Chain A
Amino acid sequence: MDATTSVLQNPATVDAYQAVYDTLGRAYWDASTIDAKDLIQGAREPIYDIITELDEAQLAANTTAMLALQSKIKDTNVALHKIKDAIDEITKNLNTATNVVSAISNVLAITAPLL
């Protein structure tokens, strides 16, 4: 990371620009003439642009970090689905036992007259 990137990614940098932007905003409403207001807004807009650039850069950095996290969350969901499958297997086995009883019941229904 070069010195410029380091300075731009420092939260204090954007905070400093934001403080100037806010101060100029208060000055805008205090100004009594259109010319003074135009002058202040003219100074304020480049600062708005710088803050926007810094915000977009930080959001892009967060995107990269989120993409890295995505695979971990997907892996975890796969692990949870394996547990779900194991539980479904337990239910399936109990269902098999029920089917056996049902089959016996059917046989008994057929052979009952012989008992």
Chain B
Amino acid sequence: MSAKPTIPVRPGHFPGPISLVLPLLLSFAGCATSPLAKHTAEFATATNAVVDDSENAYRAAVRLHDDEQLSAAVQKYDTNQPWDPHNIKHLIDARGLDARADILDGLKTYAQTLADLTSGQSDSLDTTAKSIGATLQQMSAAVNPDATATPIFSITPGEANAASTALKALGDYLISNKVKSAVPKVIHDMDPNIEALSNLLDSDITILRRQSGNDYEQLLMQQDTFIRKSGAELSPIERRAEIKKLGQIILRKEATDDMLHQLQLTIKSLAETHHALAVAAQSKDNASLSERIAELKATADRLSHFYNSLPTTTT
């Protein structure tokens, strides 16, 4: 985190108390984010990974199990065990997949809304604050139509920008107060639900790992049986290709298990991140000094970026 020495603080252009406060705030500028915003951003990242990977994992596991049933049916087709293609049973039915998709979407919405609320970014506030400076300059131009005459009421671009920044600071303060007073309780109350959901997802993935492993094993046996019983009727090149598939099935089995194992670790990380978030959100009264400074720096950073984005010439 480094200070930004090039911030264009323009002495003499800030009217009243803001001439003292704004340079002080701007001097804190750096790359800081508040602890709450940092945790919510991390949580949103972990959530996106879990949601996308879980949905892929469910789809892949269901498809694999369908493939296993089709392969088994091919093997049994000419035996005395009747096979009806309508009897394919999905590992997870449509209701189960919908329930999982809905809850994962809800989780994604929760994480994204939380990140948006705590980020301190408000485009509409920025627009409003920018327009107050522009309006003040228009007002100045309106009462001084003759540029050569002694001004009745004059506002320099620096003063207009200071007014915009002051309004932005006021808006940030009010929004921050609202977020700090309401969001921590929501996060705290949600924590047991996130833990319960993580446990359910972990249980699902444990089952998918076992079932996928077994489905691949069945596919392997069916392929091996096919080669041993019908391999003699294949050309050498065809037979070679079919034997090669045995190794490919094993490789896919291992890759699938690695992917699902990784997903389980991410789910665990999701629950831990949310718990850290809940603790950070609740620690208003005993926040460490460094956290408070980080919050202050985050505020200053946002204001500095806002101030630097304002035009420096008269509109």
Residues of A at under 8 Å CB distance from B? Answer: 14, 18, 21, 25, 28, 34, 37-38, 41, 44-45, 48, 51-52, 55-56, 58-60, 62-63, 65-67, 69-70, 72-74, 76-77, 79-81, 83-84, 86-88, 90-91, 94-95, 97-98, 101-102, 104-105, 108-109, 112-113, 115
Mark each residue of chain B from 224 to 235: 1 if its CB lies under 8 Å from any CB of chain A, else 0: 110011000000
B83 to chain A, nearest CB (A): 14
B207 to chain A, nearest CB (A): 5
A-B contact count (CB 8 A): 162
In the bound assembly, the distance between CA atoms of A41 and B224 in angstroms comes to: 11
The answer to the question of B139 belonging to the interface, with a C-beta cut-off of 8 Å to chain A, is yes
With contact pairs A55-B210, A77-B113, A79-B186 given, residues A69 and B196 touching in the complex (Cβ less than 8 Å): yes
The answer to the question of B19 belonging to the interface, with a C-beta cut-off of 8 Å to chain A, is no
The 9 closest A-B pairs by CB, nearest first: A109-B142, A105-B139, A73-B106, A63-B96, A108-B142, A95-B128, A80-B113, A102-B135, A98-B132
Segment touching A, from B5-13, B168-176, B260-268, B293-301: B168-176
Having A95-B124, A115-B143, one finds 18 other A-B pairs with CB under 8 Å, namely: A21-B214, A21-B217, A37-B228, A51-B210, A56-B92, A59-B96, A59-B204, A66-B103, A70-B99, A80-B110, A83-B117, A83-B182, A87-B179, A90-B171, A91-B125, A94-B125, A98-B132, A105-B138
B221 to A108, Cβ gap below 8 A?
no
In the bound assembly, the distance between CA atoms of A94 and B200 in angstroms comes to: 45
In the bound assembly, the distance between CA atoms of A42 and B229 in angstroms comes to: 15
B128 to A94, Cβ gap below 8 A?
yes
The answer to the question of B183 belonging to the interface, with a C-beta cut-off of 8 Å to chain A, is yes
In the bound assembly, the distance between CA atoms of A66 and B102 in angstroms comes to: 9
B99 to A67, Cβ gap below 8 A?
yes
A96 to chain B, nearest CB (A): 9
A81 to B99, Cβ gap below 8 A?
no
In the bound assembly, the distance between CA atoms of A34 and B230 in angstroms comes to: 12
| 12 A–B contacts, CB within 8 A, in A order | A55-B207, A66-B197, A69-B193, A69-B200, A73-B110, A83-B178, A83-B182, A84-B117, A91-B124, A91-B171, A97-B167, A105-B138
A110 to chain B, nearest CB (A): 8
With contact pairs A25-B217, A108-B139 given, residues A94 and B197 touching in the complex (Cβ less than 8 Å): no
